[in-house]
């Protein structure tokens, strides 16, 4: 009886710790995502008008097609493999990852700005869109570096500190509003980017020693990180870029005003799915301390899969009932047209529940090749449906393309989870993420 009480107390304490971790993890991601979606963007739409705001969101969509993909692959590599690196070499692992990110992001940013300037000055296609793209690229470069700069905090479960750094960029991005009033519509991208750049400068001022202390780079480790990073980053690029193809094609084939209408619905649905999305993202750093899927039995995985299906069905019913209220509250200028798309796009967003709940297991325990195949399917399903439906049916075609793409992608993620984990037979395969990042490490489990 005493043993049973002790176990229950230990389980309760573990639950309290995880609850506290999740609270701060959700706070960081929630502020990072919700501040723009709930406050900044609705205010920009109100003061800029649907046409100008649509242009701004169109530019954000173009940049987001690359977005955080370059360093998301690096952070995923870090969290997949940090448990297999000797403790005394983990700081070197972080510094090597950060230096790789700096070189990668700097190169991409240089090419992006150079291309935009060339188009603007030497082509008739120049204008606000091209210049705004170059400016917004600065914001996403800063976000990439902040993401890498705090990845070690997530592994160490210092979620409160990570929440601060993750949300400060979104808070400073509100400089877009005073810039709007001072210099007009072009002040929005300038203020938005300035806020994120200031957040990165502040991170360097406080945590710079974590990234530049000697030895600050390991060539052998970097080579192995690069091999895994490339596959994961390409996979993330395929996964993320496909979600912005709809607004990009609407801007090309319809109007920037239609981009505003579509964005209002997708942003509202994203807010509705945020609690489930946060739970899924929270699972990635939590699983980073485990070396094998054998920690989770096939029976647990099957029950987990059934619960995911039930959650998806319940979410569809809920979101179709409540989505119109935040839509009218946040985006009243376009809500009358946007609300007609909710029943269609709600199907797609409900299917993403399956993605959010199984993603931590696949990212941690599945092979990087599996993740790449999922990314390819995502790109083809979203881009293919968008290219077929949007040019002919415009806004309604974009809604159906969003729905079809999300359904196909969700079934793909869920099918991989069921096949590899819920119905696994070969118990000799421990499900370890074999990347051999630091084979010289005595603690490395990839022997």
Instruction: For 20-75, write each residue's pLDDT tens digit.
Output: 777 887 788 777 877 888 889 999 998 998 888 998 988 888 888 776 667 777 77
Residues in contact with 43: Cβ distance below 8 Å, sequence separation at least 6, in sequence order: 177
Check: CB of residue 413 under 8 Å from CB of residue 362.
yes
Question: pLDDT band at residue 379, thresholds of 50, 70 and 90?
Answer: confident
Query: What's the confidence (pLDDT) of residue 190?
Result: 93
Instruction: For 237-275, write each residue's pLDDT tens digit.
Output: 777 776 788 888 888 888 888 889 999 998 899 888 888
Query: What's the confidence (pLDDT) of residue 397?
Result: 92
Query: Is the confidence at residue 345, as pLDDT, over 90?
Result: yes
Query: What's the confidence (pLDDT) of residue 425?
Result: 57
- How is residue 429 annotated by DSSP? -
Instruction: For 356-378, write each residue's pLDDT tens digit.
Output: 888 888 887 887 778 788 888 88
Task: For Cα atoms 229, 358, 419, give the angle at the middle one, nearest 5 degrees.
Answer: 95
Task: For Cα atoms 165, 154, 66, give the angle at the middle one, nearest 5 degrees.
Answer: 70
pTM score, two decimals?
A: 0.73
Query: What's the confidence (pLDDT) of residue 275?
Result: 83
Classify burial at 29, counting beta carbons within 10 Å of its beta carbon; exposed 0-12, middle 13-18, buried 19 or more: buried
- Lowest mean pLDDT: which of 14-18, 29-33, 337-341, 437-441? 437-441
Mean per-residue pLDDT for 394-410?
92
Handedness of CA 217, 71, 285, 208 (dihedral sign): positive
Query: Is the confidence at residue 430, as pLDDT, over 60?
Result: no
Query: What's the confidence (pLDDT) of residue 198?
Result: 95
Question: pLDDT band at residue 117, thresholds of 50, 70 and 90?
Answer: confident
End-to-end CA gap in the chain: 42
Query: What's the confidence (pLDDT) of residue 436?
Result: 52
């Amino acid at each position: 009886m005493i043993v049973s009480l002790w176990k229950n107390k230990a389980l309760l304490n573990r639950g309290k710790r995880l609850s506290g971790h999740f609270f701060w993890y959700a706070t960081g991601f929630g502020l990072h995502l919700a501040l723009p979606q709930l406050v900044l963007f609705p205010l920009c739409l109100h003061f800029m008008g649907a046409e100008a705001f649509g242009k701004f969101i169109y530019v954000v969509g173009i940049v987001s097609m690359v977005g955080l993909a370059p360093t998301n692959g690096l952070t995923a590599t870090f969290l997949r493999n940090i448990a297999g690196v000797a403790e005394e070499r983990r700081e070197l692992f972080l510094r090597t990852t950060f230096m790789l990110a700096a070189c990668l992001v700097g190169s991409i940013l240089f090419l992006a700005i150079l291309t935009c300037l060339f188009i603007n000055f030497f082509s008739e296609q120049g204008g606000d869109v091209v210049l705004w793209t170059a400016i917004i690229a600065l914001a996403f470069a800063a976000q990439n570096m902040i993401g890498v700069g705090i990845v070690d905090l997530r592994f160490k479960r210092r979620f409160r500190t990570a929440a601060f750094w993750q949300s400060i960029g979104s808070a400073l991005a509100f400089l877009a509003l005073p810039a709007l009033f001072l210099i007009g519509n072009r002040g929005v991208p300038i203020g938005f980017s300035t806020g994120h750049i200031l957040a990165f400068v502040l991170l360097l001022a406080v945590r710079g020693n974590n990234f530049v202390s000697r030895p600050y780079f390991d060539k052998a480790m970097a080579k192995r990180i690069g091999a895994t990073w490339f596959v994961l980053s390409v996979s993330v690029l395929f996964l993320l870029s496909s979600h912005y193809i709809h607004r990009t094609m609407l801007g090309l084939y319809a109007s920037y005003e239609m981009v505003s209408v579509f964005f209002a619905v997708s942003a509202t649905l994203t807010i509705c799915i945020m609690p489930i999305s946060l739970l899924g993202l929270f699972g990635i750093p939590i699983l980073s301390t485990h070396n094998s899927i054998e920690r989770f039995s096939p029976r647990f995985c099957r029950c987990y899969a059934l619960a995911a299906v039930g959650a998806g069905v319940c979410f569809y019913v809920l979101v179709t009932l409540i989505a119109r209220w935040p839509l009218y509250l946040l985006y009243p200028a376009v809500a009358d047209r946007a609300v007609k798309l909710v029943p269609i796009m709600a199907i797609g967003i409900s299917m993403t529940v399956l993605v959010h709940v199984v993603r931590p297991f696949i990212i941690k325990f599945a092979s990087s090749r599996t993740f790449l195949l999922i990314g390819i399917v995502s790109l083809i399903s979203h881009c293919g449906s968008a290219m077929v439906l949007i040019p002919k049916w415009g806004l309604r075609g974009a809604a159906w393309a969003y729905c079809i793409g999300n359904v196909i992608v969700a079934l793909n993620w869920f099918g991989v989870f069921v096949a590899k984990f819920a119905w696994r037979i070969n118990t000799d395969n421990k499900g370890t993420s074999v990347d051999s990042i630091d084979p010289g490490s005595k603690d490395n489990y990839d022997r």
